[in-house]
Amino acid sequence: MSKEISKFLSLILRHEPAKFGVELDSGGWTPIDVLIARVKVAGHPNFDRTMLDEVVATNNKKRFTISDDGLRIRAAQGHSVEVDLGLAPTKPPAVLYHGTAIANIGSIRDKGLLPGKRQHVHLSFDQYTAINVGARYGKPIVLSVNAARMFEDGIQFFRTENGVWLTGRVPVEYLGFDQEREAS
């Protein structure tokens, strides 16, 4: 149940809040009591604050953040709706990683990494995480990203509370196709 609810909360808080009668403020926050009421109406009548707290605490990707006062919640990243997470530009590590499916490599070689329907391209600090991300879309492959050079060239990076690195796009010249490898 926890995984099902986590996915449902992601849908509401990242992609389709209006469809469920939820309003996000400019930072992506919504009142927890409103969210709980909307989740109940949407087919989860037993959903309550205890269940919400369990989902937030046990989500291995730490996809959700509860405000310091405990009254609001938002998705940590991955929004396809416009929000400003209020993240300060941050110097990234020298190399970051992107996991994707082998089927996407041709397009990436042509266009680089684009955010698609999301606001940002998501990058990982380590190859293991990138492999897991890529596996969600098919046979995974990991690309390296020369984040140090991107940063030196004036491209901004942001780091979310759960450790995901975000940037607007990754042009082809910063991608390590020579290090391209299939994940085992």
Task: Verify that 121 and 159 share a domain, yes or no.
Answer: yes
Return d(Cα 126, Cα 168) in angstroms, integer: 20
Phi-psi region of 6 (alpha: psi -120 to 50; beta: other; left: phi over 0): alpha
The reply to whether 80 falls in a domain is no
Q: Residue 62's Cα: distance from chain center in Å?
A: 10
CA 11 to chain centre: 12
Find where tokens 């509370």 sit.
161
56: containing domain: 2-75
Q: Which two tokens stand for residue 146?
A: 């020369």
- CATH of residue 47's domain is 1.10.10.970
| 111 in the same domain as 63 | no
Do residues 100 and 59 share a domain? no
pLDDT band at 26 (very low <50, low <70, confident <90, very high): very high
Same domain, 55 and 22: yes
Q: Answer yes or no: do 22 and 50 share one domain.
A: yes
Q: Is residue 59 part of a domain?
A: yes
Burial (0-12, 13-18, 19+ Cβ within 10 Å), 35:
buried
Is 80 exceeded by the pLDDT of residue 51?
Answer: yes
Q: Which of 27, 184, 155 has its CA nearest to residue 96? A: 155
Residue bearing tokens 């979310």:
160
Q: Is the pLDDT of residue 15 over 50?
A: yes
Residue 41 covered by a domain: yes
Number of domains the chain contains: 2
158-159 β-sheet, strand order: 121-123, 165-167, 158-159
Asked whether residue 109 is assigned to any structural domain, the reply reads yes
Return d(Cα 162, Cα 5) in angstroms, integer: 19
Same domain, 177 and 145: yes
**Which CATH number characterizes residue 167's domain?**
3.20.170.30
- Per residue in 114-126, pLDDT tens? 998 888 999 999 9
Same-domain status, 42 and 100: no
Q: In what helix (H) or strand (E) does residue 122 lie, and over which residues does it extend?
A: strand 121-123
Q: Which residues is 51 bridged to in the sheet?
A: none
Residue 178 banded pLDDT, cuts 50, 70, 90: low
Residues 25 and 69 in one domain: yes
pLDDT confidence band for 184 (50 / 70 / 90): very low
